[in-house]
Chains A and B, each alone.
Chain A
């Protein structure tokens, strides 16, 4: 193979996470980012409460997807208990506020930490298994947690759900989507920045090594088991934080939305957006979140369309939307 071939080989993302160009300034992406930033800032002043609610919800999905991206996309561990940790986050945050009147920054941190701690414990047990067994074990755990949410009436309100009192900080109370919005945006941005830092770091490299070849990772001195547990714990932390974000703009939570369906929804977002790419996780969250909301009114259509999207994407855009678009653009550029 000559050097010419190498020069033509697509410049891959050396130290930046996949989805970002390594070649200097990517004008298109910067423009998009600027647009997104502007939109984020203007939004609360320009739209109705409902749209802001959707925006808040999408940002929650973004954080959920980033968490799943870390454990599945970067580390290759198919952990399917995400909704359980999301639930733990919501209940922790809600209860810390309801029962103890904690200020929301504290309850949000607590939500993430507790979810993360449970994640580490479960991970230590489950991550001895591989692939399908890990998926099934975490799936079972997720369902068991939902059962706990449904039956631990005293703490979670059981089948009646839990009323969440407004988040507060001192005298300030969050009583509307508009008021919650800045908090939600800031949290989402923080988690995004955290994800980028992790991905570019030695830890992120260790995650990817584990994903690509556990055996080689071991030979290279990567503590594989520890890396997996950290990844899993982190994803649980993210889910917990996402839950606490949800608790800032919601007044009610019911265990029905804390089961496998939700985990699968997040998985779908990540896979369709592009497994292994931060942009894919974010994009998938927003796109699918919108589709999900739009279709919420017609549950049966929603299911059919989801299913078809999944099937079609797996058939023709197996590496996700962004990779698909990039491939097409790359092919067009080469003429």
Chain B
């Protein structure tokens, strides 16, 4: 490998990595926002993305609704669906006196139901492609080749993330969410309605997943199994520090870049392995990730 080629790969890897990484960042954000407020790793996050993607596909292709209707409709549907799941199902699981892992298993249950449902409706039996919002044209950035669609994806993802952070930091709801994440009992004492906040958190996570779905679907082949993308979201969240929202974003971009670089410099076979290696490495070397606080010593 010559230096020239290496530099080319590097640029391409970073450019493509940033694009797909922005979507991973959204995924990681969706995962972390739930984990931060309820200590539940949501194993159905990928299926939430998949389901949102199929809802959009259905509305677009089978109902012939225009894109500017489909997008908000999908996001709204995802918000509502996720919030309802939290309210109707997870609340009950949390109330039943089992171990905390039961909540995680319930999310696993949801992932199975969503996958099976999509497969069952005959929708997911063949891979489908999602029509892109604009016709992708190639652009060169330096020596890297990207498309206009890529840029739209990146820009949209960044805007959504910014909006999320703004909401989290400056609105009443955002503050309530933070309070619940830090100390649910105390938050309750100052009047925060836990049930409502949990619903909103899940709804938000669903909405963000829907955005991720809308962004990534044009680039990938849609199948009922596309939820496996969630591993990358988890990898991103771990790298960034599982309880850090900014970390999730940084992690997402990093994972995207690493994934692409591995594909270019090593072999495309190894791409699938990359996130798992990243997870293991981070957890062994620095379990709190890049931005997670010091791993807490239990108070005795």
Contact = CB atoms under 8 A, between A and B. Distances in A.
A132 B116 contact: no
Contacts, number: 126
Nearest to B43: A264
Given A137-B280, A318-B93, A303 B106 contact: no
B298 A215 contact: yes
A95 to B, nearest CB: 23
Interface string B79-95: 00000000001001100
Nearest to B111: A307
Nearest to B98: A318
Interface string A137-159: 10111011001000100000000
Interface string B96-125: 111101110110111111111101100000
A257 B110 CA distance: 21
Interface string B261-289: 00000000100110111011001100100
A304 B119 CA distance: 10
Interface residues of A, number: 41
Main DSSP-derived SS at the B contact region: helix
Given A315-B92, A318-B96, A144 B273 contact: yes
Interface string A290-331: 000000000111111111111100111011000000000000
B120 A129 contact: no
Interface residues of B, number: 45
A304 B99 CA distance: 24
A273 to B, nearest CB: 13
A329 B97 CA distance: 18
A275 B272 CA distance: 33
B116 A311 contact: no
Contact of B116 (A125, A141, A304, A319): A304
A143 B119 contact: no
B112 A137 contact: no
Contact of A310 (B105, B275, B276, B284): B105
Main DSSP-derived SS at the A contact region: helix
Given A135-B41, A309-B109, A215 B276 contact: no
A78 B101 contact: yes
B273 A314 contact: no
B9 interface: no
A271 interface: yes
A301 B119 CA distance: 9
B279 A310 contact: no
Interface in B8-34: none
B163 to A, nearest CB: 28
Contacts of B238: 133, 136
22 contacts: A78-B101, A128-B284, A133-B283, A136-B234, A136-B238, A136-B279, A136-B283, A139-B279, A140-B276, A140-B277, A147-B276, A151-B269, A215-B298, A271-B101, A303-B116, A304-B116, A305-B116, A307-B110, A310-B108, A311-B89, A315-B89, A316-B96
Per CB-CB distance, the 4 closest pairs between chain A and chain B, nearest first, are A318-B98, A303-B116, A307-B112, A310-B109
Given A133-B238, A316-B96, 20 more contacts: A132-B39, A132-B41, A133-B283, A136-B238, A137-B284, A141-B280, A143-B231, A144-B273, A144-B277, A215-B298, A268-B108, A271-B101, A304-B117, A304-B120, A308-B109, A311-B109, A314-B103, A314-B105, A314-B106, A315-B92
Interface of B: 35, 39, 41, 89, 92-93, 96-99, 101-103, 105-106, 108-117, 119-120, 231, 234-235, 238, 242, 269, 272-273, 275-277, 279-280, 283-284, 287, 298, 300
